[in-house]
Structure 1
Amino acid sequence: MKLTKFTHSCVRIEKDDRVLVLDPGTFSEVETALEGADFLLVTHAHPDHFDAERVNAYLAEHPEVKVYAPAAVADQVREAAPSVEVTTVEGEEAFSLGNFEVKTFGGQHALIHPLIKTIDNVAFLIDENVYHPGDSLVVPHGLKVKTLLVPIHAPWSKIQETIDFVISVRAKVAFPIHNGLINSNGHGIMESQITDFGAKYGTEYKHLESGKSVEV
């Protein structure tokens, strides 16, 4: 299975000529990520994860793409691209998408501030392998994750929480997401800590540049 990282939280997963894309947002190369996609999964409605204008425009021209997302996103797609097949998802579900097996977890965005209402956020696990938490640090239960996508920097997180998330999931390998707002200095600080702590608990953290691919 081939995983390609795009800017911030967008990833593209390819397996046996099928393509699944997660979270093409405003910082991401939306059209490139979605090219030839069969399935689009969106964790939540924030624009850095769902660029409504560009994604809906693409879907209107490519109605063959099937969309799975929380209600706030699903409703926008239904209105903007009515010919697209859209499924509303919540946490604690399991379903098949072609040759991909998907499980969902969580259901709520991480707390930004007590005076800011939280929104729906659904984390996705693909093929018992790749776990994309969106904007949450929900630890998937009852299974062993192989590949963890780690939100390493966000207005709602601190490094202690990020490290605890990595060592709680205990995936074999971890790659960064949600890193579109930091420069090389910030990456160095965050990633050195995550690398060191991950190694203590059996997780190999690897930096992955936007546009680069790995086999997982």
Structure 2
Amino acid sequence: MKLTKYTHACVRLEKDGRVLVLDPGTFSETDQALPGAEAILVTHEHPDHIDMAAVVEVLNGPGAPAVHAPAGVAEKLRAEAPGAAGAIHTVDPGSTFEAAGFAISSFGGQHALIHPQIPVVANIGYLVDGNVYHPGDSFIIPDGISVKTLLVPLHAPWSKMSEVVDFVIGVRAPQVYQIHDGLLNAAGLKIVETQVQRLGAKYGVTYTHLEPGESVEA
């Protein structure tokens, strides 16, 4: 499949002329990622992972895509786009379904802890075609499978670099690309990526940086 990374956490997947988009958030180029999407997967409710206005706009337009999301996000979307309620699906962890011709498995269920005084929200990680894993805002490792392509949250208010490295080592996907890098400047990005690349290589991991809009075969 063709994988295109956009700024921060948004990824577009294309296969056999069909398009699946994950986490089209407010930091991302949704005007480039969403056109032609047959399905959208949303990991959780934070704006950097779902641009509500952009998603509601496509839901209210012709050929509305199917949207799969945790219950809270699905409920908000149904309220904002009642005419497309039938295209909005609630996802629970541990489920399997098809979206835009891709086989999806869901994992996790809870956003990583930011601070004890900040409520924890639902978070769903998605494995696409037994290949590409987008964990959203969590370091949940899928059980019982071998991930081929990992999208690693490189930096977040809820993580530290050692946890990022340990997640990459724990999943041990042969190929790793970065997501959730929108809060890093060039210097910070280089520091984190250098360690992920260096330490991951000891465990057979190849880390590759993708620029916004860059595409690879996954």
Into which bin does the TM-score normalised by the smaller protein fall?
Answer: over 0.9
Give the Cα separation in 1 of the matches to 2:100 and 2:75.
23
Q: Following the alignment from structure 1 to structure 2, what is the Cα–Cα distance between the partners of residues 103 and 138? A: 13
Structure 2: how far apart are the matches of 1:139 and 1:165? 8
Q: Residue 131 of structure 1 corresponds to which residue in structure 2?
A: 133
Query: Unpaired segments of 5 or more residues in structure 1?
Result: none
- What residue in structure 2 maps to residue 173 of structure 1? 175
Residue aligning to 1:7 = 7
Displacement after TM superposition at 1:17 (Å): 0.7
Q: TM-score, normalised by structure 1?
A: 0.98
Structure 2 matches for 1:7-46, cutoff 5 A?
7-46=7-46
Conservation of the 8 A alpha-carbon contact between 1:70 and 1:90? yes
* C-alpha distance in structure 2 between counterparts of 1:99 and 1:210, whole Å: 25
Aligned to 2:188: 186
RMSD value, Cα: 0.9
CA contact (8 A) 2:104 2:127 kept: yes
Distance 2:54 2:88 in 1: 17
Inter-partner Cα distance in structure 2 for 1:171 and 1:42: 22
Secondary structure of 1:61's aligned partner:
coil
Distance 1:63 1:91 in 2: 27
Residue in 2 that maps onto 1:109: 111
Deviations 1:146-197 (A, max 9, x none): 0000000000000010000000000010000000111110110000000011
Task: State how far apart, in whole Å, the 1-side matches of 2:101 and 2:46 are.
Answer: 28
Partner of 1:57: 57
> Structure 2 CA distance, aligned partners of 1:119 and 1:98?
26
SS at match of 1:83: helix
Alpha-carbon distance, 1:144 to partner:
0.4
* Identical aligned residues as a percent: 56
- Mapped to 1, the partners of 2:69 and 2:32 lie a distance apart of 20
- 1:40 partner amino acid: I
The 2-side partners of 1:41 and 1:83 are apart by 19
Distance 2:151 2:191 in 1: 18
**Equivalent residue letter for 1:151:** P
Q: Deviations over 1:115-156 (max 9, x none)?
A: 111000000000000000000000001010000000000000
Gap change, CA 1:123 and 1:62, over 3 Å in 2: farther
> Across the two proteins, how many residue pairs are aligned to each other?
216
Amino acid at match of 1:134: G
Amino acid at match of 1:154: A
Aligned positions of 1:158-169 closer than 5 A: 158-169=160-171
